Amino acid sequence: MAIIIDGKKVSTEVRNEIKEEVECLKAEGINPGLAVIIVGDNPASQVYVRNKGRACEEVGIKSEIIALPAETTEEELLSKIDELNERKDMNGILVQLPLPKHINEKSVIDRISVEKDVDCFSNENVGKVVIGSPRFLPCTPAGVMELLKRYNIEVAGKNCCILGRSNIVGKPLFSLLLAENGTVTVCHSKTENLSEITKNADILVAAIGKPKFVTADMVKDGAVIIDVGINRMENGKLCGDVDYDAVVDKASYITPVPGGCGPMTITMLLKNTLTASKIQK
């Protein structure tokens, strides 16, 4: 039976550390602030944005949620970002994705000042991660790395396999695992002989958005299993990309869904907002 990686517990630990640091910054006259923009009324996005605001409040970071109607034009959104780029009291700017179809997400992300891009989505900030001199760390991949670190799971020299090549998770996580000297393979929908690769992995990360895709026969005995997937099943329950009940007996460590990687993403966003306030002081 694997050790269950408790993302809620680690998240609380890290948030307490952030809270202490925020208090120290406030004593120096620095008040970290995060602006979160949401366009339209996607219910899932509304929940995420509310949770981000609440998390800020808990650690003493000021947050401002800017809710714009679905009809907002790209130009109007860009001018809102220009305004926030100028504001000294807002250190981080996050535009919740997805945006309505008439707005070009890339143009919007690249309008955010690179020093305020706490999602770490801009070309420059992604590039800095790739070359190993990051300004910010991409939130979900950084959450995965933090879980590995806090459970003393060594990455150096290990075969790491990432399922999924998204710009938000798979690709940046490749850079972070490589920076820790892992031997990293990124698999995707066109990968051949997938099980042969996953069965060779000491650390297997699933980030493909397919419920229970990773089955026990795809996993090496004693592997570390990190499940980034969050899928809603027909019965309304959440499940990951890993068939947890079957894999838990084979793995040495495993993240549950919910309560594994999920809580870490917002925590790393808070950390980036803290970093932003420090670099802008």
Residues at the contact surface with ligand GUN, assessed by CB under 6 A? 94-97, 119, 139
Catalytic residue among 6, 52, 171, 241: 52
Choose, from 96, 117, 212, 250, the residue flagged as catalytic: 96
Nearer to ligand GUN among residue 93 and residue 160 (C-beta): 93
Residue in 6, 117, 119, 202 annotated catalytic: 119
Q: How far is the CB of 96 from ligand GUN (least distance, A)?
A: 5
Judge whether 119 counts as a catalytic residue.
yes
- Spatial distance between the Cα atoms of 137 and 141, rounded to a whole number of angstroms: 8
Q: Smallest distance from the beta carbon of 119 to ligand GUN, in angstroms?
A: 5
**Of 63 and 96, which has the nearer Cβ to ligand GUN?**
96
The residue nearest ligand GUN at its CB is: 97
Q: Establish whether 8 is a catalytic residue.
A: no
> Cβ of residue 145: shortest distance to ligand GUN, in angstroms?
15
Specify the residue, 163 or 228, whose C-beta has the smaller distance to ligand GUN: 228
The least distance separating ligand GUN from the CB of residue 213, rounded to whole angstroms, comes to 19
Taking the least distance from each CB to ligand GUN, the nearer of 139 and 144 is 139
Q: Which is nearer to ligand GUN, 94 or 264 (CB)?
A: 94
Annotated catalytic residue 89: no
Q: State in angstroms the smallest separation of the CB of 281 from ligand GUN.
A: 24
- Diameter of the chain by CA atoms? 56
Nearer to ligand GUN, 95 or 161 (CB): 95
- As measured in angstroms, the least distance from the Cβ of 149 to ligand GUN is 20
Q: At CA 113, angle to CA 107 and CA 117, rounded to 5?
A: 85
- Residues 6 or more apart in contact with residue 256 via CB below 8 angstroms: 4, 5, 7, 227, 240, 244
Active site positions, annotated: 52, 96, 119
